[in-house]
Amino acid sequence: MALLTYQRAAGLAGITLFIFLLLGYTTYNTRSADTIPFSYEKQHSAPTVSNPHSGASYSSSYTSPGSAENWQFEPARDAHNYGLSPEQCDAAFPDMWAELDRAVAHRKKVGIITPADVKIGWKIDGIIRAMIYDRQLFILNARGARRRDYRQRTIAVLQSIQRAISAYPGEIPNIEFSFVVDDGAYFAVYENNTSATTWALTREPHDQNLWLMPDFGFYSWEGPAGEYTALLRAIEEDEIPFDEKDKRAIWRGAKSPAGPVQVRTDLLKVSKGKSWADIEEIEWGGDSEPKNLVPMSKHCRYMFPVHTEGHTYSGRLKYLLNCHSLTVIHKLHWGENFHHLLIPSGPNQNFIQVERDFSDMHWKMEYYLQHQDEARRIADNSIKTFRDRYLTPAAQACYWRKMFQAWREVSFEPSYYMTQEEYEKEQEEEKQKEREAKLKELQEEEAEAAGKELEKGKERAKDAKTRSDATGTNTALRSSSDKKIPRGMPYETYLLLESYEESPWYDS
């Protein structure tokens, strides 16, 4: 059954690829690759608006739809507007771009991103190479994105990008990029490569080459949160007046998502038997859901939701920060695209920061329980900053478009077509890389067995070479030498694939 499904999927991919190439052969036309004139830097020259009273022209007496003049972000009206103009994005979310500014500055220092940098051969799985061209999203390649969770994350990221493009009528730069849906971008890499440039969900402070994209959880996270706007609605419905909240700290989680995670163990230890704590480990594995499970939106009924990192970052923080509560967060190591907005002290304090071992948790809880006015001020700051501004779907759509621009400023204009020769070279490179990696794994595991595999691998490589030479010759006979092939598979086609194969491009 599994095999049948696989064969069917593979067959479908093959057919799609065939049709796709066929279209490529018949519909190409050459087009010069114009440089897109745009600047990621803020425009310093304000657009000239003629005086409405001068009677100059009819249209000038109206503020254009995307203008930020006399416009203010109102969450009730704008939180789900995915198509705010760049001026509105800047006006509504002035402190949103710190991660992009950092990444751009780094690139300006070390040199701009080249086509070689966006190849994905360095990562074993969970990576996708894509392109936006003339406002259309294309998939160029994918490696190990078929695992159920990776597939869901991939679709969530792509769909968020698609939404940010299609909701905005203005200019979107042509760009080529890769992104990783693995928890850690540099987990499961070949040759210990922890310096590749890619878009990632999270990064460690020293990872200067990673560009933080909005988390897939801002679109949908099956299981813990579901679709983001549905969760926001549930939170709104479950929200209660601050004074009526359960005045305890709430946390539910697995102690060890993958190996020992010290912060969670420490939290359980520190809070054990305390009157201020409703903190419990969840043990999965039974037939039914664990009894002590608390749905995400119900965390908002507590005054002190607690956040902990897991294997890397933990995607729950953005949900907890939507509560009108005081989120308790240990000092974080893994960053997301909004973490710089967390303010631990001062008049704009918007959460409670504790040590990584939670050693100061007890006295901080006692302090805020006794200083409810201060607690309330922090909770008010939190919803002002997070729920009603930077964690709105509108803000994340703005971030995506700003990211396209920022990336384009320090990278290259991708080409829409490739030649037959380039196509074959790339395919062969990819396959060779995969073969080498598999052989290497085998070698490490079992030297003797690997020896035989190596021979087989060499034969296979020779076969493949012969095959590709043959195809090359055929193509040369069939077509004139300047045939061009579109490099990308439209995102819509990719979605329609029964895509549990390694890469949408390979049919074997």
* Residue 95: how many other CB atoms lie within 10 Å: 11
Smallest separation (angstroms) from ligand NAG to the CB of 198: 8
AA letter at 439: L
What residues from 465 to 504 belong to the interface with ligand NAG (CB under 6 A)?
A: none
**Interface pick for ligand NAG out of 3, 4, 76, 116 (rule CB under 6 A):** 116
Residues 273-302 that bind ligand NAG (CB under 6 A): none
310 Cα distance to chain centroid? 18
> In whole angstroms, how close is the CB of 112 to ligand NAG at the nearest point?
13
192 binds ligand NAG, rule: CB under 6 A: yes
Q: Which is nearer to ligand NAG, 39 or 193 (CB)?
A: 193
Q: How many CB atoms lie within 10 A of CB 118?
A: 25
Residue 26 near ligand NAG by CB under 6 A: no
* Selection from 150, 16, 117 nearest residue 504 by Cα: 16
Least separation, in Å, of the C-beta of 117 and ligand NAG? 5
**Does the footprint of ligand NAG cover residue 191 (CB under 6 A)?**
yes
Using CA atoms, how far residue 46 sits from 43, 89, 130, 136, 212, in Å, is 7, 15, 34, 29, 29
Nearest distance in Å: CB 143, ligand NAG: 12
Residue 22 or 110: the one with the smaller Cβ distance to ligand NAG is 110
Stretch near ligand NAG under the rule CB under 6 A, chosen from 47-55, 133-141, 161-169, 192-200: 192-200
List helix spans (H) across 167-243. 228-238
Task: Give me the DSSP letters along 115-152.
Answer: GGGG--TTBSSSEEEEEEETTEEEEEEEES--SHHHHH
Nearest to 170 by CA among 398, 1, 341: 398
Least Å distance, CB 109 to ligand NAG, is: 16
Q: Identity (one letter) of the amino acid at 389? A: R
- Distance CA(99)–CA(78), nearest Å, equals 23
List all residues 6 or more positions away from 380 whose beta carbon is below 8 Å from its beta carbon: 324
Contacting residue, 82, 87, 99, 119, with ligand NAG by CB under 6 A: 119
Cβ at position 423, least distance to ligand NAG in Å: 19
Q: What is the size of the binding site for ligand NAG (CB under 6 A)? A: 10
When the beta carbons of 120 and 306 are compared against ligand NAG, the nearer one is: 120
Whose Cβ is closer to ligand NAG: residue 122's or residue 221's? 122
Binding map of ligand NAG across residues 196-235, x = CB under 6 A, - = no contact = x---------------------------------------
Report the residue from 87, 99, 117, 501 that binds ligand NAG according to the rule CB under 6 A: 117
Reported as type and span, the H/E element at residue 175 is: strand 175-180
Tell me whether residue 5 or residue 193 sits nearer to ligand NAG (CB atom): 193
State yes or no: residue 403 binds ligand NAG (CB under 6 A): no
Please state, in angstroms and rounded to a whole number, the distance separating the CA atoms of residues 341 and 314. Answer: 17
For ligand NAG, the binding residue among 40, 93, 122, 351 (CB under 6 A) is: 122
Both tokens of 218, joined, read: 């801002």
Residue (of 353, 348, 352, 354) closest to 384 by Cα position: 348
3-state secondary structure of 383: helix
- Based on CB atoms, which residue is closest to ligand NAG, 85 or 198? 198
- 366 vs 446 by CB, closer to ligand NAG: 446
Distances (CA, A) of 305 to 249, 250, 449: 5, 5, 53
Closest CB 193 distance from ligand NAG, rounded Å: 4
CA distance 508 to 488: 19
Residue 348 corresponds to which amino acid? Answer: N
445 binds ligand NAG, rule: CB under 6 A: no
- Shortest Cβ 118–ligand NAG spacing (Å): 8
Which C-beta is closer to ligand NAG: that of 207 or that of 266?
Answer: 207
| Residue 347 DSSP symbol | T
Cα distances (Å, whole numbers) of residue 191 to 122, 127, 195, 198, 502 = 8, 16, 11, 16, 20
CA distances (Å), origin 391, targets 308, 321, 322:
19, 8, 8
Nearer to ligand NAG, 119 or 264 (CB): 119
State yes or no: residue 193 binds ligand NAG (CB under 6 A): yes
Rounded least distance, CB 178 to ligand NAG, Å: 8
Q: How many Å separate Cα 239 from the centre of its chain?
A: 28
Nearest distance from residue 116's CB to ligand NAG, in Å?
Answer: 5
Residue 119 Cβ vs ligand NAG, minimum distance, rounded to whole Å: 5
According to the binding rule CB under 6 A, does residue 407 interact with ligand NAG? no
Decide: 327 and 320 in contact? Cβ < 8 Å.
yes
Catalog residues that contact ligand NAG under the rule CB under 6 A. Answer: 116-117, 119, 121-122, 191-193, 195-196
